[in-house]
């Protein structure tokens, strides 16, 4: 049972993980996603792009394409975490900053990954998502007059 308000690509990703009832299969999917993530330039692995609250070293960047959609790129020194990052990047592909900011983290629970992840990895998954939302908020504020949206409201989700 998937949340109907999820964007199509994210919904598809969540359903794919729901079908993999075996934790080993979920790990394999994450490792496959990690391999598919495009390389991140070393020059972008700077403190401003580092995800706080992750045991692994995780970096993420965000920029707008010509259509005003957010393009994320990222990397991690741990393959499993890199897979979680790739899951989120793929799932939010083609979304506007506003659409990303409005996403609730409930879908993370729906993937069934919590059962397969250590508590610190599960927490890292949420922190990666929260960082992506914060970066989307900054892009939205720069793009329009969304300055009225408070970063604290994102940190609460």
DSSP 107-122: HHHHTTGGGTS-HHHH
Determine the pLDDT at residue 76. 97
Q: Using a pLDDT cut of 70, give the percent of the chain over it.
A: 89
Range list of β-strands (E), the chain: 58-64, 70-76
Q: Sign of the CA dihedral 148, 9, 117, 40?
A: negative
Annotated catalytic residue: which of 20, 54, 58, 89?
Answer: 54
The region of weakest confidence among 17-21, 73-77, 109-113, 146-150 is 146-150
Residue 144: which pLDDT band, with cuts at 50, 70 and 90? low
71 belongs to the catalytic site: no
* pTM score: 0.87
Q: Using a pLDDT cut of 90, give the percent of the chain over it.
A: 67
């Amino acid at each position: 049972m998937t949340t109907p308000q999820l964007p199509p690509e994210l919904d598809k990703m969540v359903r794919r993980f729901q079908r993999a009832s075996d934790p080993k299969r979920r790990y394999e999917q994450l490792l496959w996603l990690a391999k598919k993530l495009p390389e991140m330039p070393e020059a972008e692995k700077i403190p401003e792009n580092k995800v706080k609250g992750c045991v692994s070293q995780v970096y993420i960047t965000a920029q707008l394409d010509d259509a005003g959609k957010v393009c994320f790129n990222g990397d991690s020194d741990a393959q499993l975490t890199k897979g979680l990052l790739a899951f989120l990047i793929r799932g939010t592909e083609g979304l506007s900053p506003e659409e990303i900011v409005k996403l609730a983290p409930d879908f993370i629970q729906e993937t069934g990954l919590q059962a397969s992840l250590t508590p610190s990895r599960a927490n890292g998954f949420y922190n990666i998502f929260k960082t992506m939302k914060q970066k989307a908020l900054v892009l939205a504020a720069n793009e329009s007059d969304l300055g009225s949206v408070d970063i604290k409201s994102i940190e609460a989700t």
